A and B are shown apart, each in its own frame.
Chain A
Amino acid sequence: MTSQIGFGVIAVCLLLSALFVVGSKNLVHAVLWLAVTLLSTAVLFVTMRAPFVAGIQVLLYAGGVITLMLFGVMLTRRHESVEIEAETSPRRRVPAAIAGAGMFILFATALSRTPEQPLQLHATVDTVDIVRSFLTGNVLAFEVLSVLLLAAMIGAIVVARRRDHGFDHVRIPRKREERG
């Protein structure tokens, strides 16, 4: 009974903050509501007996991604003083709401036709299990993920850097053309 009340409170927090994320006019407020959503998700993970994942969620999402998003919002403002307005286009709001509601109805009908899986309430998954799974069975995927993160970092730096203006006067000699 207590766990159901707790789940209900967390679910209400999640859904309300998610609605504020997509509905707020100021994008900075949207990012802060996203932080509330991600932290409520971390609380949900704690109630699901997944403390390691909850910690990662707080560190990576609520720490890293929120910071990145705030930088993204503030770097792409046109003027400092002007309030950002009309973040959602009014003629697209109704079709978007229909699409979202339709998707939810699709999910709900699919869920109602699948048998419920009972939770294993007494099985405990601790950090040692997760790390063992990472470093034995899934070690190839783990290494590929690290290469992916490196590639994303280098790619982001290359895409977003400014052109170097300090070397405009330096003419780089071209390769001599091949002789026929």
Chain B
Amino acid sequence: MMATHPYLLLAAALFSVGIYGVLSRRNAVGILISVELMANAVNINLVAFSRAQGTALGQVFMLFSIGITVAEVVVGLALVILLYRSRQDVLVDEANELSG
């Protein structure tokens, strides 16, 4: 591999698969899993840029991104558990009490 484009194309494909998952899942945990897939694609991009620049900055950004993603997953799962406790299911198209 001599250039960044194969990595970026692979990451774009992973991101698109994640978008399909986010839009097609009914279960809130399934949506969170697909969001993880998309974040993973972004991390591949950052490491590829780090390799193109020859510096450590891309990998540092990737580590920041990992930290923020983990925080997001923790809060998201807490919200899902709260939703389960109040409704006894986590299907996102059933939870429409606030829609007009």
A contact residues vs B (CB 8 Å cutoff): 3-4, 7, 11, 14-15, 18-19, 21-22, 27, 30-31, 34, 37-38, 41, 44-45, 48-50, 52-53, 56-57, 60-61, 64-65, 68-69, 71-73, 75-76, 78, 84, 86-89, 92-93, 95-97, 99-101, 103-104, 107-108, 111, 116-121, 123, 125, 129-130, 132-134, 138, 141, 145, 148-149, 151-153, 155-157, 159-160, 162
Contact = CB atoms under 8 A, between A and B. Distances in A.
Interface residues of B, number: 74
Contacts of A75: 81, 84
22 contacts: A18-B18, A21-B17, A34-B37, A37-B14, A37-B37, A41-B40, A44-B44, A49-B51, A65-B36, A68-B77, A69-B77, A76-B84, A78-B88, A97-B20, A108-B12, A111-B9, A119-B4, A119-B52, A121-B2, A130-B59, A133-B60, A148-B68
A71 B81 CA distance: 10
Interface in B1-58: 1-10, 12-30, 32-34, 36-37, 40, 43-44, 47-48, 50-57
A137 to B, nearest CB: 9
A135 to B, nearest CB: 10
A7 to B, nearest CB: 6
B93 interface: yes
A133 B81 CA distance: 38
B35 to A, nearest CB: 11
B64 A27 contact: no
Interface string B60-71: 101110111111
Contacts of B77: 68-69, 71-72, 156, 160
B33 A31 contact: yes
B75 A7 contact: no
Given A41-B43, A76-B81, A89-B93, A148 B67 contact: yes
Contact of A156 (B27, B53, B78, B93): B78
Contact of A73 (B22, B29, B53): B29
Contact of A152 (B27, B36, B71): B71
Contacts of A72: 29, 32, 77, 80-81
